[in-house]
């Protein structure tokens, strides 16, 4: 303990937008030149286009740079990013664990990365075997009878799951109109339910942070399709009544949707399928180390219990008697296709690689250490920040800004921004919405004790500073190239792309943005 | 386990701090009835040495040659793109929710939005969608929000069949009706038939959707289709599966299209069995508030310097919950970055040249094919796809088999989706194919020795 803070000053570079500093006439790709086809005359090319040729006035906002300049541009920009590779990134609900580089190697193997989706199945046996294995491994980890890999991310997995529930109800001749969603749920849950025209019925939690059984009893009925539940929930707390809840929903003919974003707490310890979840999305980009990439791509595989398996999207990978794999499109009750081709195969290879390297014992150990780290943080910080709930947590813990607000008028946002000056990425803030001023910390298992201690030290120092020098928090961050950004100005005066008229100085930019949006 | 750093001593001292007897005791909140009381039934862990050998064996070789496009055409992507994506600062950052420590990702998204808006010819583009197919479905859902009283969407049969399937799934779920516009004998959207359909729908049409270049590589009469939509108070929604075309053809947005979507897969560097690529989504300024997905905007910081943030998030699920324009959260950020780097490398000059090379190769292929007596089903204005029709099924199958034995894949058969076009092969020709490759292909297809 008492190490110097992780953050310090460093030299850095300004880097204008790609379009601002062009090098007229430059380009960064050489194409072959010498073949007969390259001598096909412009008038023949024009003929092929008929009257569809691009007009003289149709400009393209592209750069004019050589490869070294492009390399430097994107290298400089990259340095303005916080990343897991640079320091702890304890964003709650996001599972920012180390992303193994072997995954990247695997995804780039030409035998995977150069496969066209319409190659004949005989030529895709390796890829299909990866998908087959991954379907089965996820089914085993989650306790499901079958898993589709097609959804591109968690939200699309939710879409698939809820659509399957709707299809199953329809197959029974029922048209239920409501969906139960706890107040603590992620925004994608109610957004998904609403897409299907379900009225979202909010569920209360009890003072221990779990869903109120009485509330379910009052609201679950034969008009209700089921419940969308996250377990452990977004407070990091295991829904202790989950088995009872599943029974209550099932008894009334409903289905239980599981949001699997928090599966990192449970691998090898408990399986959602076993505690009554009928259908659940996995986030391979959280639990199974496919990289977040600044916002995706992910993979939101969906596991289903026996009762919902017939409704899974097409195709599933299946195996013939002779051992050959194929895409099974012959699934009459399927909800259909939800995206082009077969889903984010590149991410499947990475997740397969991770699961294969960890093995069953490794995955369990990962969950154990994720929970150990979170509880350790809870223990070290509970005298410095107000704990949202006293109940034991699993892989993440939620604090609030209550004490800092009351005593020093310092908010969660101020705390988050000051953590940046300590070289830390802030936790998830203001989520879940049920906790006022939430600070949601998920360390993950790949942070060492030394690192977790450094994270705690930073939090503790910021809490001390909130008392001694609250202004430092309100004016944070101070160590970053840019200071606090004006999000309200951006929303009021949207400037969503570069134009040749866009000024490079802040003052002139403000006027430009207002003028662009019809303001003086 | 090399990814885990806790020593037994660490664990011991952490448990001490927490006053807990064991790691097991941290899981007490999980009731016994909900627990798994056995080991997961998965294969045992492999070391990196074993893992690499196993993976190499499973992956095998890349195909020797391919003329498969059909919505997943490959283009040349310089090696540096993949190398830059491996920088941990790009690879392992999350969605840029904390702008002060995410300016790299944010500026790159701003650049991406600028490039996409200009390629598609629109005022504004978002920070990416999953793929072209879901982007199209979201575009049609958006048009239904903008035309709340209209329930019908007319979509050309020349739109990628998988895109239509995805739209069918998503739109039906939203209570909308998707009807197909038939094709002319030239492999384009039948405008006369469309007029008929419009007449029958009595103003109940939210959008008219087409693809250009269409699934068969043919260029649609965009201006006419867009005018037709607008003169019937419907939105004109355009799909595209290969934005390289816009280096040579008119951008739909510049012709007045309301929403334009595309798929950037071919410029991201890895086909990876069709994904991940990146869905491109752009529209007119006036429809901004109904757009799905994330948007990055420019703003100023407290010192008055220009910077970037995610903005207009009151459209999105994390703020608006059940009233959001879409449920999308994670998008295809890293692929959007790949797309930005690749298009920036080509640049203004290179991008047009790339499009021209695609045309030259396709013209060359068509010239050679005709010379050798192959039948081109459609011969109108086109980009980089060609439909070759064979007289007999057996000839086609045998030819494909022979080529496959050499690990060469000549094209995509159309009859799976278009029974009206039997014995047809959709052949994709791009800058990646040498004249030699094309000569070999045309000779094989025409069964004439080289
Ligand atoms: C609890 C929870 N549910 C759902 C999601 C949505 O997942 P995705 O971003 O992959 O669409 C997230 C991720 O942000 C989440 O944290």
Q: How far apart are CA A346 and CA B358, in angstroms?
A: 26
Parallel, antiparallel or unpaired: strands A224-230 and A255-260: parallel
A113 closest CB neighbour out of B5, B272, B320: B272
Query: Omega of the bond prior to A357 within 30 degrees of 0, cis?
Result: no
Instruction: Determine whether B449 is exposed, middle or buried from the number of CB atoms within 10 Å of its CB (0-12, 13-18, 19+).
Output: exposed
**Chain A residues within an 8 Å CB radius of B275:** 152, 297, 339-346
**Chain A residues within an 8 Å CB radius of B283:** none
Percent of chain B with pLDDT over 70: 100
Distance B124 CA to ligand 1 centre (A): 26
Asked if B385 is an interface residue toward chain A (Cβ–Cβ < 8 A), one would say: no
Residue ranges matching CATH 3.40.640.10 in chain A:
125-357
Asked if A331 is an interface residue toward chain B (Cβ–Cβ < 8 A), one would say: no
Write out residues 232-291 of B within 8 Å (CB-CB) of A: 246-251, 254, 263, 270-276, 278, 288
B273 closest CB neighbour out of A117, A195, A364: A117
Calculate how close chain A gets to B161, using CA atoms only, in Å: 9
Residue B275: DSSP 8-state: -
| The two three-digit tokens of residue A113, written as one number | 């990365």
Residue B450 has pLDDT above 70, yes or no: no
Asked if B25 is an interface residue toward chain A (Cβ–Cβ < 8 A), one would say: no
pLDDT value, residue A3? 67
Instruction: Give CA separation, A296 vs A291, B130, B174, B290, B333, in Å.
Output: 7, 9, 26, 22, 5
Q: Does residue B70 share a domain with residue B140?
A: no
* Total number of domains constituting chain B: 2
Is residue B379 domain-resident?
yes
The CATH classification of domain A368-474, taken from the options 3.40.50.620, 3.60.150.10, 3.90.1150.10, 3.20.20.100? 3.90.1150.10
Q: Hey, is A88 helix, strand or coil?
A: coil
Name the residue at shortest CA distance from atom 16 of ligand 1.
A93
pLDDT value, residue B349? 94
Is residue B165 domain-resident?
yes
Domain boundary among B342, B360, B376: B342
Instruction: Determine whether A207 is exposed, middle or buried from the number of CB atoms within 10 Å of its CB (0-12, 13-18, 19+).
Output: exposed
Q: Does residue B71 share a domain with residue B195?
A: no
Look at residues B143, B136, B331, B344 and name the one whose alpha carbon lies nearest to residue B241.
B136
Residue B22 has pLDDT above 70, yes or no: yes
Instruction: Give CA separation, A76 vs A80, A101, A138, A179, B89, in Å.
Output: 7, 22, 39, 47, 10
Asked if B207 is an interface residue toward chain A (Cβ–Cβ < 8 A), one would say: no
Residue A513 has pLDDT above 60, yes or no: yes
- What stretch of H or E contains A135? helix A125-142
Residue A520 has pLDDT above 80, yes or no: no
Q: Does residue B278 share a domain with residue B138?
A: yes
Q: Is the CB of A154 under 6 A from ligand 1?
A: yes
Percent of chain A with pLDDT over 70: 99
Asked if A16 is an interface residue toward chain B (Cβ–Cβ < 8 A), one would say: no
Interface test with B, best of A33, A107, A118, A135 (most B CBs within 10 A): A118
Q: Does residue B225 share a domain with residue B187?
A: yes
Asked if B160 is an interface residue toward chain A (Cβ–Cβ < 8 A), one would say: yes
Q: How far apart are CA B140 and CA B167, in angstroms?
A: 8
| Number of neighbouring beta carbons within 10 Å of residue B450 | 8
CB B447 within 8 Å of CB B414: no
Strands (E), A276-337: 279-282, 302-304, 316-319, 325-328
Is residue B410 domain-resident?
yes
- Here the CATH number for the domain that contains residue B192 is 3.40.640.10
From the alpha carbon of B327, which atom of ligand 1 is closest?
Answer: 11
pLDDT digits (tens, 9 = 90+) for A304-354: 999 999 999 999 999 999 999 999 999 999 999 999 999 999 999 999 999
Asked if B319 is an interface residue toward chain A (Cβ–Cβ < 8 A), one would say: yes
Asked if A123 is an interface residue toward chain B (Cβ–Cβ < 8 A), one would say: yes
pLDDT digits (tens, 9 = 90+) for A358-374: 999 999 999 999 999 99
| Number of neighbouring beta carbons within 10 Å of residue A57 | 6
**Chain A residues within an 8 Å CB radius of B307:** 482, 485
Residues of chain A by 3-state class (helix, strand, coil), percent to 5? 40, 10, 50
Q: Does residue B399 share a domain with residue B378?
A: yes
pLDDT digits (tens, 9 = 90+) for B393-447: 999 999 999 999 999 999 999 999 999 999 999 999 999 999 999 999 999 999 8
Q: Does residue B298 share a domain with residue B403?
A: no
Backbone dihedral angles phi then psi of residue A327, each to the nearest 5 degrees:
-85, 115
Sign of the C-alpha dihedral computed for residues B60, B62, B63 and B64 taken in this order:
negative
The DSSP line for A475-515 is T---SSSS-SB-HHHHHHS---S--TT--SSHHHHHHHHHH
Domain boundary among B315, B342, B369: B342
| Number of neighbouring beta carbons within 10 Å of residue A223 | 15
Mean pLDDT of the residues in chain B: 97
**B237-246: average pLDDT:** 98
- Here the CATH number for the domain that contains residue B440 is 3.90.1150.10
| The two three-digit tokens of residue A477, written as one number | 């961050």
Distance B194 CA to ligand 1 centre (A): 41
Q: Which residue has tokens 């490759």?
A: B437
Is residue B31 domain-resident?
no
Domain boundary among B299, B314, B342: B342
| Number of neighbouring beta carbons within 10 Å of residue A85 | 18
Q: Does residue B368 share a domain with residue B298?
A: no
| Number of neighbouring beta carbons within 10 Å of residue A203 | 22
Range of the domain at B214: 80-342
Is residue B36 domain-resident?
no
Q: Hey, is A395 helix, strand or coil?
A: coil
Q: Does residue B260 share a domain with residue B248?
A: yes
| Number of neighbouring beta carbons within 10 Å of residue A488 | 11
Q: How many residues does chain B have?
A: 450
Distance B318 CA to ligand 1 centre (A): 10
Residue ranges matching CATH 3.90.1150.10 in chain A:
368-474
Name the residue at shortest CA distance from atom 8 of ligand 1.
A154
Percent of chain B with pLDDT over 90: 95
A509 closest CB neighbour out of B222, B306, B431: B306
Contact B13 A113 (CB under 8 A): no
pLDDT value, residue B16? 98
pLDDT value, residue B222? 97
Interface test with B, best of A42, A62, A199 (most B CBs within 10 A): A62
Is residue B12 domain-resident?
no
pLDDT value, residue B116? 98
From the alpha carbon of A94, which atom of ligand 1 is closest?
Answer: 16
Asked if A124 is an interface residue toward chain B (Cβ–Cβ < 8 A), one would say: yes
Is residue B312 domain-resident?
yes
Distance B297 CA to ligand 1 centre (A): 23
pLDDT digits (tens, 9 = 90+) for B318-355: 888 888 889 999 999 999 999 999 999 999 999 999 99
Q: Does residue B352 share a domain with residue B327?
A: no
Write out residues 334-373 of B within 8 Å (CB-CB) of A: 334-335, 337, 341, 343-354, 356-357, 359-364
**Chain A residues within an 8 Å CB radius of B161:** none
Q: Does residue B420 share a domain with residue B378?
A: yes
Q: How far apart are CA A455 and CA A449, in angstroms?
A: 10
- Fold (topology level) of A125-357: 3.40.640
Residue A292 CB contacts under 8 Å (≥ 6 apart), including other chains: A84, A94, A96, A99, A285, A298, B92, B93, B94, B95, B330, B333
Q: Does residue B365 share a domain with residue B227?
A: no
CB B273 within 8 Å of CB A77: no
pLDDT digits (tens, 9 = 90+) for A237-280: 999 999 999 999 999 999 999 999 999 999 999 999 999 999 99
Write out residues 300-329 of A within 8 Å (CB-CB) of B: 313
Q: Does residue B280 share a domain with residue B134?
A: yes
Contact A291 B335 (CB under 8 A): no
State the helix-helix crossing angle for B333-371 and A42-49, rounded to 10 degrees. Answer: 100
pLDDT value, residue A1? 46
Name the residue at shortest CA distance from atom 5 of ligand 1.
A154
Q: How far apart are CA A390 and CA A207, in angstroms?
A: 9
pLDDT digits (tens, 9 = 90+) for A100-125: 999 999 999 999 999 999 999 999 99
Q: Is the CB of B80 under 6 A from ligand 1?
A: no
Calculate how close chain A gets to B102, using CA atoms only, in Å: 4
A118 closest CB neighbour out of B40, B299, B412: B412
Residue B271 CB contacts under 8 Å (≥ 6 apart), including other chains: A113, A114, A115, A116, A117, B72, B74, B265
Distance A383 CA to ligand 1 centre (A): 30
Q: Is the CB of B37 under 6 A from ligand 1?
A: no
């Amino acid at each position: 303990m008492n190490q110097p803070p992780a953050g310090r000053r460093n030299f850095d570079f300004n880097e204008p937008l790609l379009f601002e500093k062009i090098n007229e006439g430059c380009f960064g790709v050489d194409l072959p030149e010498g073949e007969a086809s390259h001598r096909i005359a412009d008038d023949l090319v024009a003929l092929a286009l008929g009257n569809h040729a691009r007009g003289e006035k149709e400009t393209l906002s592209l750069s004019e740079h050589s490869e070294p300049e492009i390399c430097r541009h994107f290298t400089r920009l990259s340095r303005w990013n916080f990343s897991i590779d640079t320091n702890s990134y304890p964003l709650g609900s996001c599972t920012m664990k180390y992303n193994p580089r072997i995954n990247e190697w695997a995804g780039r193997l030409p035998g995977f990365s150069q496969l066209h989706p319409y190659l004949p199945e005989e030529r895709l046996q390796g890829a299909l075997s990866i998908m087959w294995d991954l379907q089965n491994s996820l089914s085993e980890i989650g306790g499901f009878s079958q898993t589709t890999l097609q959804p591109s991310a968690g939200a699309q997995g939710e879409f698939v799951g809820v659509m399957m529930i709707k299809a199953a109800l329809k197959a029974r001749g029922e048209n239920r109109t409501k969906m139960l969603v706890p107040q603590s749920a992620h925004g994608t849950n109610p957004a998904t339910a609403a897409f299907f025209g379900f009225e979202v019925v909010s569920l209360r939690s009890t003072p221990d942070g779990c869903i109120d059984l009485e509330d379910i009893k009052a609201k679950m009925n034969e008009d209700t399709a089921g419940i969308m539940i996250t377990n452990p929930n977004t407070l990091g707390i295991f829904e202790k009544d989950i088995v009872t809840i599943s029974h209550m929903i099932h008894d009334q003919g409903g289905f239980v949707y599981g949001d699997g974003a928090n599966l990192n707490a449970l691998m090898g310890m408990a399986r959602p399928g076993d505690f009554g979840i009928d259908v659940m999305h996995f986030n391979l980009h959280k639990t199974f180390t496919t990289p977040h990439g600044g916002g995706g791509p992910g993979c939101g595989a969906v596991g289903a219990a026996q009762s919902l398996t017939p409704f899974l999207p097409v195709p599933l990978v299946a195996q013939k008697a002779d051992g050959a794999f194929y895409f099974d499109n012959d699934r009459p009750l399927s909800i259909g296709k939800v995206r082009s081709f077969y889903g984010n195969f590149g991410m499947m290879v990475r997740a397969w690689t991770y699961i294969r390297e960890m093995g069953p014992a490794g995955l369990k150990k990962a969950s154990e250490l994720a929970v150990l780290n979170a509880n350790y943080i809870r223990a070290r910080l509970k005298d410095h920040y107000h704990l949202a709930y006293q109940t034991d947590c699993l892989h993440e813990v939620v604090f609030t800004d209550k004490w800092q607000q009351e005593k020093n008028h310092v908010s969660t946002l101020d705390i988050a921004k000051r953590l940046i000056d300590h070289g830390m990425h802030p936790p998830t803030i203001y989520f879940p919405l049920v906790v006022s001023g939430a600070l949601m910390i998920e360390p993950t298992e790949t942070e060492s004790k030394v690192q977790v201690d450094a994270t705690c030290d930073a939090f503790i120092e910021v809490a001390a500073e909130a008392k001694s020098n609250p202004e430092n928090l309100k004016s944070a961050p101070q160590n970053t190239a840019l200071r606090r950004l004006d999000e309200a100005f951006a929303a009021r005066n949207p400037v969503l792309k570069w134009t040749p008229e866009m000024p490079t100085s802040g003052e002139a930019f403000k006027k430009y943005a207002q003028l662009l949006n019809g303001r003086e | 386990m090399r990814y885990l750093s806790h020593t037994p001593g660490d664990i011991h001292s952490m448990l001490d701090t927490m006053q807990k007897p064991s790691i097991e005791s941290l899981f007490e909140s999980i009731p016994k009835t909900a627990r798994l009381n056995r080991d997961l039934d998965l294969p045992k862990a492999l070391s990196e040495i074993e893992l690499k050998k196993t993976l190499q064996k499973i992956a095998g070789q890349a195909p020797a040659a391919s003329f498969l496009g059909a919505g997943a055409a490959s283009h040349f992507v310089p090696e540096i793109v993949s190398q830059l994506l491996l920088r941990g600062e790009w690879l392992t950052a999350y969605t840029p929710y904390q702008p002060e420590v995410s300016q790299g990702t944010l500026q790159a998204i701003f650049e991406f939005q600028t490039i996409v808006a200009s390629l598609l010819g629109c005022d504004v583009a978002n920070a990416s969608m999953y793929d072209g197919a879901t982007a199209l479905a979201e575009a049609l859902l958006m048009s239904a929000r903008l035309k709340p009283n209209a329930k019908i969407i007319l979509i050309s049969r020349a739109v990628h069949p998988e895109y239509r399937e995805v739209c069918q799934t998503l739109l039906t779920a939203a209570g909308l009706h998707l009807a197909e516009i038939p094709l002319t004998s030239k492999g384009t959207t039948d405008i006369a038939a469309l007029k008929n359909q419009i007449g029958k729908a009595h103003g109940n049409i939210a959008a008219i959707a087409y693809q250009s270049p269409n699934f068969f590589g043919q260029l649609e009469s965009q201006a006419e289709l867009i005018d037709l939509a607008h003169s019937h108070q419907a939105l004109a929604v355009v799909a595209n599966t290969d934005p390289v075309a816009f280096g040579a053809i008119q951008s739909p947005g510049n012709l007045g299209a309301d929403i334009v979507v595309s798929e950037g897969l071919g410029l991201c560097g890895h086909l990876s069995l069709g994904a991940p690529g990146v869905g491109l989504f752009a529209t007119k300024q006036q429809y901004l508030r109904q757009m799905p997905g994330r948007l990055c905007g420019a703003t100023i910081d407290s010192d008055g310097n220009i910077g970037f943030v995610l903005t207009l998030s009151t459209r999105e699920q994390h703020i608006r919950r059940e009233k959001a324009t879409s449920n999308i959260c994670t998008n295809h950020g890293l692929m959007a970055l790949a797309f930005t780097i690749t298009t920036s490398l080509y640049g203004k000059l290179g991008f047009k040249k790339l499009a021209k090379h695609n045309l030259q190769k396709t013209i060359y292929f068509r010239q050679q094919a005709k010379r050798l007596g192959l039948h081109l089903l459609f011969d109108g204005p086109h980009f980089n796809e060609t439909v070759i029709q064979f007289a007999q099924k057996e000839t086609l199958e045998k030819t494909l088999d022979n080529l496959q034995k050499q690990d060469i894949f000549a094209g995509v058969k159309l009859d799976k989706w278009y029974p009206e076009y039997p014995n047809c092969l959709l052949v994709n020709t791009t800058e990646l194919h040498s004249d030699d490759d094309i000569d070999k292909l045309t000779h094989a297809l025409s069964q004439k020795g080289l």
